[in-house]
Amino acid sequence: MITFHSIYTYLYWFFRPCIKWFLRKTTKLCELQRICYGEPVGYPRSHGVEVSLNLSRNEYIKDLIAYLNKLSDEKKLSGPMYKAALEKSVHVVVLAKKINPSIHRQFLKSFGRCVEHVWG
């Protein structure tokens, strides 16, 4: 039986990449940048980043999420490992999303803070 929820899920899954592509081309910002620049500090921004990362189809980002979840589950996110994981997270996203770090310094700080909130 086809339900509204299954139709909505399919349409969301199908059209989300198209909408993201259109917004990327028109704003010159990826979804994570739009979240970090547009959402208020705190839960709304961190939740938006978490949802965006979890819905990503990029293999590097999927691997990053698995790595952070593993470290978090094993309670290894502390001390020097915490700082290294945070730096790796920012580095992977910058490379995967082709973000220029010299232009978008504020994104690096905002995104790093969101990763701290979600996995810290």
Asked if 111 contacts 49 with a C-beta cutoff of 8 angstroms, the reply is: yes
Residue 17 lies in a domain: no
Residue 67 lies in a domain: yes
Total domains present in the chain: 1
Give me the percent of the chain exceeding a pLDDT of 70.
99
Residue 104 lies in a domain: yes
Residue 40 lies in a domain: yes
The residue range of the domain holding 57 is: 31-119
Q: What is the pLDDT of residues 40-76, one digit of tens each?
A: 999 999 999 999 999 999 999 999 999 999 988 888 8
Residue 72 lies in a domain: yes
| Spatial distance between the Cα atoms of 67 and 118, rounded to a whole number of angstroms | 13
| pLDDT over 90 (residue 8) | no
pLDDT, greater one: 96 or 77: 96
pTM of the predicted model as reported, rounded to 2 decimal places: 0.85
Tokens 């899920």 sit at which residue? Answer: 9
Residue 10 lies in a domain: no
Asked if 53 contacts 45 with a C-beta cutoff of 8 angstroms, the reply is: no
